[in-house]
């Protein structure tokens, strides 16, 4: 018996040595992967990341089961709705009728009536949003989910017509000229979304970052007609300094809107686009036909969203008015006894005059009086009968302002007490 055990000891020791060697090798690979070493094969780094983050993902999954989907937000305390609309205001928006289902609807804000609805029942994630849907003249609908999915088209009865998933989509969709539409996108590599598709270097330090692309599609078929890297646009127009100016080195572009020009004017041509960069806080007038940046618009705005062409000489957009990276109150230095007070900052709507290079604030007193502020997203749409529809994203309060007054203030109530529907970039309809 003793001899048998003694004979097995070398085998046990050899197995222990092999196991420790394998564990050491695995630990070393984990360390090199977390350092972002380029020599580690992509499939190896993916497998290691998947394995080592399994406990984290299990905790996230547990927390997700225990909370409401993120498509619901807490309703403001003592919220008082207001509806003094004298004319119909119709918006195309979406909401969650169940964790795994979404309704896209045209809602008349004046009456609360749903004029037309579409249903989406094939969600893979209860937190997914449907943002900035685009309705075509035949009542078909183009939409995508916020999780950088592809773009989907359904008919008036909610039946799928096509899905374009060779790209990953993000945020806005806008109708272009000649039955096309434009969208903010990301290029995909081997079927996957590329998170770091570009890089720049400063003083020997490497900064990989998320590249963004502009894509034009055929609205009938979903076929890609034009696809361009925003980083390449900056390189070709000697504007790479914009990458360094951003307060988010890993995401210095974060394009949130592409607004196509539908007809020629004194300051723009049909086919041009206006591009909004959130983290860079700039708006670019770009001409795809020539690759030329016609104008780079910067000024007293930050983290802006939703550029709209108001006239042949003006554009308007929502100025969030807050840093992209939300900073905490600094505490490493003491406060002076007598502080110089700067008045509170709020979001707003700005009008930019092309050719003049000047800005004009629209109803700033309303934003200050109502304390309207949205750290991310939000939009403004001009109403057919005058005035503006405003979506205050973070609180998900919807506003209509006209003639210097608030005509409408409300939320979309949900089936969960104390919560209402998250705003999803509603679109004003004719």
What's the CATH code of the domain at 396? 2.120.10.30
Neighbours of 249 (CB within 10 A): 15
Q: Determine, yes or no, domain membership for 422.
A: yes
| 343, 347, 353, 359 alpha-carbon torsion, rounded to 10° | 10
What count of Cα atoms within 13 Å lies in the side-chain half-sphere of residue 334? 3
Structure tokens at 345: 């900052």
* Whether residues 104 and 40 fall in one domain: no
Q: Determine, yes or no, domain membership for 75.
A: no
pLDDT for residue 230: 97
Return the SS3 of 347: coil
* Whether residues 31 and 153 fall in one domain: no
* Whether residues 188 and 290 fall in one domain: yes
DSSP 130: B
pLDDT for residue 42: 60
pLDDT for residue 39: 57
* Whether residues 298 and 158 fall in one domain: yes
Distance CA 424, CA 95 (A): 8
Q: Determine, yes or no, domain membership for 89.
A: yes
* Whether residues 225 and 311 fall in one domain: yes
Query: How is the beta sheet containing 397-402 ordered, strand by strand?
Result: 82-83, 405-410, 397-402, 388-392, 379-382
* Whether residues 117 and 170 fall in one domain: yes
Q: Determine, yes or no, domain membership for 341.
A: no
Neighbours of 158 (CB within 10 A): 15
* Whether residues 94 and 219 fall in one domain: yes
Query: The pTM is what?
Result: 0.83
What count of Cα atoms within 13 Å lies in the side-chain half-sphere of residue 184? 26
pLDDT for residue 62: 47
Q: Determine, yes or no, domain membership for 396.
A: yes
Distance CA 143, CA 161 (A): 12
| Distances 393 to 372, 411, 425 between C-alpha atoms, Å | 10, 11, 8
Distance CA 311, CA 301 (A): 21
Q: Determine, yes or no, domain membership for 133.
A: yes
For residue 105, what is the enclosing H or E element?
strand 101-108
When divided into structural domains, the chain yields a total of 2
Quick: pLDDT tens for 244-291. Answer: 988 788 999 999 999 999 999 999 999 999 999 999 999 999 999 999
pLDDT in tens, the chain (430 residues): 666 666 666 667 667 667 767 766 766 665 666 555 555 566 666 666 666 665 665 555 444 445 789 999 999 888 999 999 999 999 999 999 988 899 999 999 999 999 999 999 988 888 999 999 999 999 999 999 887 778 999 999 999 999 999 999 989 999 999 999 999 999 988 777 777 889 999 999 999 999 999 999 999 999 999 999 999 999 999 999 999 988 788 999 999 999 999 999 999 999 999 999 999 999 999 999 999 999 999 999 999 999 999 999 999 999 999 877 666 666 777 888 899 999 999 999 999 999 999 999 999 999 999 999 999 999 999 999 999 999 999 999 999 999 999 999 999 999 999 999 999 999 999 9
* Whether residues 113 and 8 fall in one domain: no
| Distances 334 to 53, 254, 289, 326, 343 between C-alpha atoms, Å | 40, 35, 55, 21, 21
Quick: pLDDT tens for 3-48. Answer: 666 666 666 766 766 776 776 676 666 566 655 555 556 666 666 6
Q: How far is CA 310 from the centre of its chain?
A: 22
Return the SS3 of 83: strand
Radius of gyration of the chain from Cα atoms? 26
**Environment class of 397 (CB within 10 Å of its CB; exposed 0-12, middle 13-18, buried 19+):** buried
* Whether residues 152 and 244 fall in one domain: yes
Q: Determine, yes or no, domain membership for 329.
A: no
**Environment class of 68 (CB within 10 Å of its CB; exposed 0-12, middle 13-18, buried 19+):** middle
Note the residue count of the chain: 430
* Whether residues 18 and 133 fall in one domain: no
Q: How far is CA 196 from the centre of its chain?
A: 17
* Whether residues 61 and 93 fall in one domain: no
| 311, 425, 348, 342 alpha-carbon torsion, rounded to 10° | -150
* Whether residues 51 and 96 fall in one domain: no
Structure tokens at 69: 């989907």
Query: How is the beta sheet containing 90-98 ordered, strand by strand?
Result: 114-120, 101-108, 90-98, 427-428
Residue 238: domain span: 84-323+346-428
Q: Determine, yes or no, domain membership for 330.
A: no
């Amino acid at each position: 018996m003793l001899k048998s055990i003694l004979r097995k000891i070398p085998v046990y020791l050899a197995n222990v040595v092999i196991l420790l060697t394998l564990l050491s090798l695995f630990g070393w690979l984990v360390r090199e992967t977390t350092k972002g070493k380029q020599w580690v094969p992509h499939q190896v780094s993916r497998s290691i990341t998947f394995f080592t983050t399994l406990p984290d993902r299990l905790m996230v999954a547990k927390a997700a089961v225990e909370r409401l989907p993120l498509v619901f937000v807490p309703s403001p305390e003592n919220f008082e709705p207001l509806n003094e609309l004298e004319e119909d205001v119709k918006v195309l928006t979406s909401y969650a009728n169940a964790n795994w289902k979404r309704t896209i609807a045209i809602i008349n804000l004046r009456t609360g009536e749903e004029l037309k609805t579409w249903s989406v029942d094939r969600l893979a994630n209860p937190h997914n949003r449907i943002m900035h849907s685009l309705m075509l003249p035949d009542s078909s609908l183009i939409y995508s989910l916020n999780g950088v999915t592809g773009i989907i088209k359904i008919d008036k009865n909610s039946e799928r017509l096509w899905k374009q998933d060779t790209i990953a989509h993000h945020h806005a969709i806008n109708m272009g000229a000649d039955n096309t539409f434009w969208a903010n996108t990301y290029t995909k590599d081997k079927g996957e979304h590329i998170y770091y598709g570009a890089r720049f270097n400063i003083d020997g330090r490497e900064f990989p970052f998320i590249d963004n692309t502009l894509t034009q599609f055929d609205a009938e078929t979903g076929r890609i007609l034009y696809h361009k890297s925003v980083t390449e646009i900056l390189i070709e127009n000697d504007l790479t300094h914009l990458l360094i100016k951003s307060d988010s080195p890993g995401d210095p572009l974060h394009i949130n809107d592409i607004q196509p020009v539908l007809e020629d004017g004194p300051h723009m041509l049909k086919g041009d686009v206006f591009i909004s960069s959130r983290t860079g806080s700039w708006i670019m007038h770009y001409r795809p036909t020539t690759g030329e940046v016609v104008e780079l618009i910067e000024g007293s705005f930050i983290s802006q969203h939703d550029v709209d062409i108001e006239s042949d000489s003006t554009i308007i957009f929502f100025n969030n008015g807050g840093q992209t990276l939300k900073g905490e109150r600094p505490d490493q230095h003491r406060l002076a006894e007598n502080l110089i007070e700067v008045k509170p900052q709020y979001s707003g709507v700005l009008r930019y005059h092309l050719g003049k290079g000047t800005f004009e604030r629209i109803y700033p007193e309303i934003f200050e009086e109502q304390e309207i502020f949205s750290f991310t997203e939000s939009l403004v749409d001009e109403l057919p009968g005058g005035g503006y529809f405003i979506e205050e994203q973070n609180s998900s309060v919807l506003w209509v302002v006209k003639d210097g007054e608030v005509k409408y203030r409300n939320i979309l109530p949900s089936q969960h007490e104390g919560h209402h529907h998250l705003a999803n970039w509603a679109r004003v309809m004719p």
